[in-house]
Amino acid sequence: MNILHLTPDFNYSDGRSYYVYLLLKYLKRNKHNVSLLTNSGDSFERLDKYSIPIYTENTLSRKSSFLRSVNRICKIAEDNKIEIIHSHHRHYELLANAVKKKINIKTVFTALSIVDRRYFVEYRSDRIIAVSNSVREMLINKFNVNKDKISLIPNFTDTEELDLIKQISSQKKDGVINILSAGRFHKDKDHSTLIKAVSILNRKNMKIKLTLIGEGDEKAEIEKQIKENSLNAEILPPVKDLYNYINRSDICVLSSVRDPLPGFMLESGLIGKPFIGSDADGIKDNITDGINGLIFKRKNPEELAEKISIFIEDKILSKKCSGNLNKLVLSDFTEKKVIPGIEVLYKDLINI
């Protein structure tokens, strides 16, 4: 099959880009002709080894360049005999469906996020992939999408990363507990609650090192809060080998106020690290408190601090939870489970 993927800002910092990267990687490996069209990005190099064609159009995200973008996509589609355009952002879905009116192609859209604003032109693709139940319910109840058009196919991890992890010593010399959180510096991620929780633990004389990986509009505010609370913390830009940072951590935490299916949670499970998350939909749908992780109420730093303390003090529980989350991820959230489902969707769409 010949598939063109449309997504904005193909960057290391972007969870959507990582998802698209994995789709391209494994669809190419399965002998499909895949290509990427985006406006820009800093992570094109990770596609080099797979010889995947990359097209860029820096005005692709601009509404003022809509017709120009549609014509560019039409040419790429015709030159490459594209059968399916798979988009991953609402503006890019609109472009794909405009192309569909001009040439004979099918369209697929992956809904990766919970969104508030309606434009009344979104979610018109032939098939829509919802990455979680919460996204599926949003599509049906808020946007009136026909449920028969929706396929529930989750976000996923890459098991080949397990072979790339650098071995580290299991013996800790300083007694410091390393807590890691990775994701956009955005209000939805609510880093403030995590910072406050670590501050509470510091006042109890617990040795905590907090590492935050990401970038975004909230970075300055996060830096300010870290300084005000005198935390032992570092902020890192997006990294190419997040799996190594997860492997070096003791506990992985997400304090999101909403998160449909966080990749960081899945990657933590893939690598077998204890995970603590808020009761945001995409987290609580997969984490059972005390079974495969710990859950705390959103925006409750006191409860988060308590949950961190539980994992620090109860190594048996910590090991049980990390092991069970690892089993869940390996069973349901890897390329081995997800890619075949994507291929079936494509084949059904073009009647192969």
Q: Are residues 244 and 308 in the same domain?
A: yes
Task: Tell me: do 169 and 318 sit in the same domain.
Answer: yes
- The sign of the CA dihedral 312, 313, 316, 317 is negative
Cα–Cα dist 352/343, whole Å: 10
Task: Enumerate the H helices of 188-295 as residue ranges.
Answer: 191-203, 219-228, 242-248, 263-271, 281-284
Among residues 287, 284, 262, which one has the least CA distance to residue 274? 287
State the angle between helix axes of 315-332 and 301-313 in degrees (0 to 180), rounded to the nearest 10.
100
Tell me how crowded residue 316 is: count the other CB atoms within 10 A of its CB.
Answer: 7
pLDDT of the residue at 174: 78
CB-facing half-sphere around the CA of 304: CA atoms within 13 A? 28
87 and 31 together in one domain: yes
Q: Are residues 114 and 259 in the same domain?
A: no
Lowest-pLDDT range, 35-39, 163-167, 189-193?
A: 163-167
Tokens of 321: 């939870």
Q: Which two tokens stand for residue 267?
A: 């990657």
- Strand segments, DSSP code E, in 21-92 are 33-38, 54-56, 84-87
> Do 323 and 181 lie in a common domain?
yes
Rounded average pLDDT over 203-209: 96
For residues 148 and 218, membership in a common domain is answered with no
Pairing of the two strands 150-152 and 106-111: unpaired
Integer Cα distance of 82 and 43 in angstroms = 24
236-261: pLDDT as tens digits:
999 999 999 999 999 999 999 999 99
**Tokens 């692709």 sit at which residue?**
60
Domain that holds residue 62: 2-156+334-349
The per-residue pLDDT for 184 is 92
Number of structural domains in the chain: 2
The edge-to-edge listing of strands for the beta sheet with 127-130 is 54-56, 33-38, 2-6, 84-87, 106-111, 127-130, 150-152
**Together in a domain, 230 and 341:** no
- CB of 107 within 8 A of CB of 85? yes
pLDDT digits (tens, 9 = 90+) for 131-176: 999 999 999 999 999 999 999 999 999 999 999 997 765 555 578 9
Q: What is the pLDDT of residue 168?
A: 64
Q: What is the pLDDT of residue 9?
A: 96
Stated pTM of the model: 0.94
Q: How confident is the model at residue 120 (pLDDT cuts 50, 70, 90)?
A: low
pLDDT at 173: 56
What percentage of the chain carries pLDDT values higher than 90?
Answer: 93
CATH number, residue 80: 3.40.50.2000
Q: Are residues 127 and 239 in the same domain?
A: no
In a shared domain, residues 142 and 176: no
Whether residue 137 sits in one domain with residue 13: yes
| pLDDT band per the 50, 70, 90 thresholds, residue 13 | confident
Q: Do 266 and 345 belong together in one domain?
A: no
Q: How far apart are CA 295 and CA 286, in angstroms?
A: 10
Least confident of 43-52, 81-90, 170-179, 326-335: 170-179
Q: What is the pLDDT of residue 116?
A: 81
Nearest to 229 by CA among 215, 208, 258, 257: 208
Average pLDDT over every residue of 94-98? 97
pLDDT value of position 136: 97
Residues 144 and 182 in one domain: no
The string of DSSP codes covering 104-172 is S-EEEEEE-S------SS-S-SSEEEESSHHHHHHHHHTT---GGGEEE----B-GGGGGTPPP--S--
